[in-house]
Amino acid sequence: MPSEFRLTRTVEFHETDMAGIMHFSNFFRWMEACEAGFYRSLGLPLISFVPGNVVGWPRISASCEYKAPLRFNDTAEVRLLIKEVRTRAVIYVFQFRKLGEGGRVESSILAQGEIAAVCVTSDAAGKMIAQPIPPEVKARLQIAPESAYAAA
């Protein structure tokens, strides 16, 4: 079954800008918060600094398309899907949908983003080097069918 995680979240005042909408950079922070929630839900550490077992996920690329704004106190759902799993990298897709009256998730997507992250450890000198995704992590990264996110 494809991996999936949903984060529900309300726009905070400091996330808005003088145009009255959530600043576009904050959509990337919501995506990352959703990714962190996904890893917590799996009981897997997203990041580890344990010497000898350092794991991190620096970003190779990030993008977002914005179709409608979010405003202060708006509540939205961020849905994580997995687009691609490579030996050392994973590509996530994130869909943003507003919660309307009664807490129902609206069908239209207000923003859709993508983050590609590479799995790294650190070498003896403390420098980050790419490493294969640990098998216990990889086992939980199930890609979604393209139909789940391509329509956006």
Contacting positions for a second copy (CB under 8 A): 10, 12-14, 16-21, 23-26, 28-29, 32-33, 36, 40, 46-47, 49, 56, 58-66, 69, 71-73, 128
CB of 1 to a second copy, least distance (A): 25
Of 78, 62, 84, 61, the closest CA to residue 145 belongs to 84
User: Is 60 or 143 the residue whose CB approaches a second copy more closely?
Assistant: 60
Residue 46 DSSP one-character state: S
112, exposed or middle or buried, with CB in 10 Å at 0-12, 13-18, 19+? buried
Determine whether 123 is an active site residue: no
Length of the chain: 152
CB of 74 to a second copy, least distance (A): 12
User: Is 2 or 17 the residue whose CB approaches a second copy more closely?
Assistant: 17
Distance of CA 105 to the CA centre of its chain: 18
Residue of 8, 10, 12, 17 marked catalytic:
17
Residue 50 DSSP one-character state: -
User: Is 46 or 109 the residue whose CB approaches a second copy more closely?
Assistant: 46
Residues 144, 4 contacting (CB under 8 angstroms): yes
User: Is 21 or 144 the residue whose CB approaches a second copy more closely?
Assistant: 21
In the block, residue with structure tokens 């344990």: 50
CB of 143 to a second copy, least distance (A): 21
Catalytic residues: 17
